[in-house]
Amino acid sequence: MTRILATSATLALLASPALADMDAARALIEQYSATPTFEAPGAPFDARACMADKKMFVIPLTNANPFNAAISQGFVDAAEMVGFELRDWETQMDPSGWIQGISTAVAEGFDLIDLQGGLPPEFLVPQITEARAAGVKVTATHNWDATTQETPEFMDGAANTDYVTIGEIIAAWTMVQTDGKVNALVLGPDEITPTAPLRDAIIGYLETNCPDCTTNYINVPVNDWATQGQPAVQNALLADPSINYVLPVYDSMSQFIVPAIQIAGSSAKIVSYNGTPFVLDMMRDGDIVEMNVGESLGWVGMAGTDANMRLLCDAGSVTKLNTPAFIFTDDNVETAGIPATFNDGYGDVHTEGFRKLWMLD
């Protein structure tokens, strides 16, 4: 009888469903709730001496997006600190504007062109090839994932972001908040380069670590956010009232998602990425935006400048930005400012860190 009972217990244990890895999820959240620290991406070098006769040209995905504008400002601030010429090109997510920017940079003798913040270089291969043939280096900042995406051979280099970890933080948060019972609607614009690693990391983390979690993905192109974003979310919530999280890979989509949640009468929460100020304000003033993974965009611009200067100065190669992710919640969102900004809440260790790294003190 004892043997039969033991065998039955063993079979029952083997038949029981796997449990979500909550300890790992909590550890990930704890790690990125800590105040960011500065880790030098390379050895110090005399940036001012090296850049005295060089100039840099930055082409963002679009100046209309405050996210891109804030990264560009980080480039501008770094150039002023070091003392070299930098031009921030005006563009409105228009390929013809990107092409014109490359042509202008080549014609005016710039040494390096940086395609910043998600601009898809694969659309510009002929122009990039011509620029490189003319002796201009072409790089990208905050475009590809640092571990899962390869920098194309038609580029001179890239300073990439750890999008996979950001996606995993988002997924881990939802796991912990629901005790491993996530039913999430994930949204993103497939045409933007970083969407794939963010989307795949969120979905993949839940599939691997949370057997009782489910996800559904909807592609909403950037230019259709205002017209398609709200009805897509609203219809999904009405069709499945058990959805408890809406996870736009970029938080600016939240302005169209919040009304959809309200109209559908859903209790779903929003968790996302970018730390966009108006979304942090929504978090502080409401209860639908629950968590946001941000990073100091001034820090991103300075880190991109550092990588580009190293390339121009033969001071080593940097392929990953040293900008840490940071979790904002109701508990700390006021540190981002009232109203919020793209750089408050993260501390300012990066400014002094780069000054020392560039031998400016």
Q: What is the pLDDT of residues 145-197, one digit of tens each?
A: 999 999 999 999 999 999 999 999 999 999 999 999 999 999 999 988 889 99
pLDDT digits (tens, 9 = 90+) for 232-266: 999 999 999 999 999 999 999 999 999 999 999 99
Q: Label residue 14 by pLDDT band (50, 70, 90).
A: very low
* Length, in residues, of the chain: 361
Question: Taking 50 as the threshold, does the pLDDT of residue 107 lie above it?
Answer: yes
Q: What is the pLDDT of residues 262-273, one digit of tens each?
A: 999 999 999 999
Task: Of 97, 28, 66, give the one whose Cα is nearest residue 250.
Answer: 66
Q: For position 5, what pLDDT does the model report? A: 41
Contact status, residue 172 vs residue 28, Cβ threshold 8 Å:
yes
Q: With CA atoms as reference, report the closest residue to 302 among 73, 112, 90.
A: 73
Sheet hosting strand 245-248, strand order edge to edge: 214-219, 183-188, 245-248, 269-274, 289-294, 326-328
Tell me the per-residue pLDDT of 32-56, one tens digit each, with 9 for 90 and over: 999 999 999 999 999 999 999 999 9
User: What was the pLDDT predicted at 361?
Assistant: 83
Instruction: Identify residue 324 by its one-letter amino acid code.
Output: P
Contact by Cβ (8 Å): 289, 258:
yes
Residue 120 has a pLDDT of: 87
Rounded Cα distance, 86 and 240, in Å: 50
136 within 8 A of 238, measured Cβ to Cβ: no
* Residues linked to residue 116 through DSSP beta bridges, in sequence order: 60, 141
Q: What is the pLDDT of residue 94?
A: 87
Is there a contact between 139 and 157 (Cβ–Cβ < 8 Å)?
A: yes
Structural domains of the chain sorted by starting position, each given as residue range(s) with its CATH number in brackets: 47-161+297-323+347-357 (3.40.50.2300), 164-294 (3.40.50.2300)
Q: Look at 66 and 207; give whichever has higher pLDDT.
A: 207
Please answer whether residues 51 and 80 qualify as being in contact, where contact means their C-beta atoms are separated by less than 8 angstroms: no
